[in-house]
């Protein structure tokens, strides 16, 4: 062992009473309390703001830091960049209807939900998401309205599909070619509803739940033909 190392060990023991590695002090932060407050205000106001935009915002108050420093400081405050959940765009009427449905069926028996077939249509983008998004959020806030990306149905560059599922698993899936008219909808239900009920082993008292989309119009008649009576939500 080199003499310099021995001398350093003896010196540390005499000064600190230990030869263990001592905790190092962190480098002084470049983000002032005022800058931190501005960061938190910006992120609270707009969770989708980027670290580069935050960097420019701090530059306006003459605070120059790397964007990685901004990300670290937000992380210390419990805010992390996360891919936002994509959920249907809901207006006040939609929200009110869903809350009403949930309250109405709050005390329904478990057996009802185990024998319910849920159906809906959705759009699938053919080439994936065109733009990547991130939001700054804390844990357990993924489904807050400001932290999600609202989606709307029907658009270009995509394919429409009809699908269903139950508590026991997913049912059949059907691709919708062209406009969803009554005849097309009846054909989809005829070819997929009852086979899915059989595959998922639902009881004879099974219930069909269908999303009441405004574009459905008189297609509810097709549901009646397939089941005998729909329960819309």
pLDDT tens readout for residues 61-105: 888 889 889 999 999 999 888 888 777 777 888 889 889 988 998
Q: What is the pTM of this model?
A: 0.50
Nearest to 69 by CA among 133, 24, 26, 23: 26
pLDDT of residue 31: 83
Which is it for strands 116-125 and 158-166: parallel, antiparallel or unpaired?
Answer: antiparallel
Topology of domain 85-232, CATH: Nucleotidyltransferase; domain 5 (3.30.420)
Nearest to 149 by CA among 81, 102, 90: 90
The full set of domain ranges for the chain reads 3-78, 85-232
pLDDT tens readout for residues 99-124: 998 899 899 899 989 999 999 888 77
Nearest to 39 by CA among 2, 85, 79, 90: 79
Report the 10 Å Cβ neighbour count for 52.
10
Q: Considering only residues 220 and 45, tell me which one the structure prediction assigns the higher pLDDT.
A: 45
Helix (H, G, I), strand (E, B) or coil at 159: strand
């Amino acid at each position: 062992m080199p003499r310099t190392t021995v001398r350093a060990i003896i010196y540390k023991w005499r000064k600190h009473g230990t030869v263990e590695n001592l905790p190092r002090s962190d480098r002084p932060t470049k983000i002032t309390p005022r800058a931190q407050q501005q960061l938190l205000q910006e992120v609270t106001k707009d969770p989708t703001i980027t670290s580069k935009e935050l960097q420019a915002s701090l530059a306006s108050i003459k605070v120059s830091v790397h964007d990685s420093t901004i990300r670290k400081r937000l992380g210390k405050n419990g805010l992390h960049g996360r891919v936002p959940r994509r959920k249907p765009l809901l207006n006040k009427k939609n929200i009110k209807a869903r809350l009403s449905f949930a309250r109405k069926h709050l005390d329904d028996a478990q057996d009802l939900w185990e024998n319910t077939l849920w159906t809906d249509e959705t759009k699938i983008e053919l080439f994936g998401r065109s733009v990547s998004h991130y939001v700054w959020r804390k844990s357990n806030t993924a489904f807050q309205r400001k932290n999600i990306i609202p989606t709307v149905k029907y658009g270009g560059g995509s394919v429409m599909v009809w699908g269903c599922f139950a508590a026991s698993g997913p049912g059949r899936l059907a691709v919708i070619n062209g406009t969803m008219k009554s005849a097309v909808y009846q054909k989809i239900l005829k070819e997929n509803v009852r086979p899915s009920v059989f595959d998922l082993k639902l009881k004879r008292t099974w219930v069909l739940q269908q999303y009441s989309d405004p574009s459905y119009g008189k297609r509810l008649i097709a549901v009646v033909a397939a089941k005998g009576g729909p329960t819309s939500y």
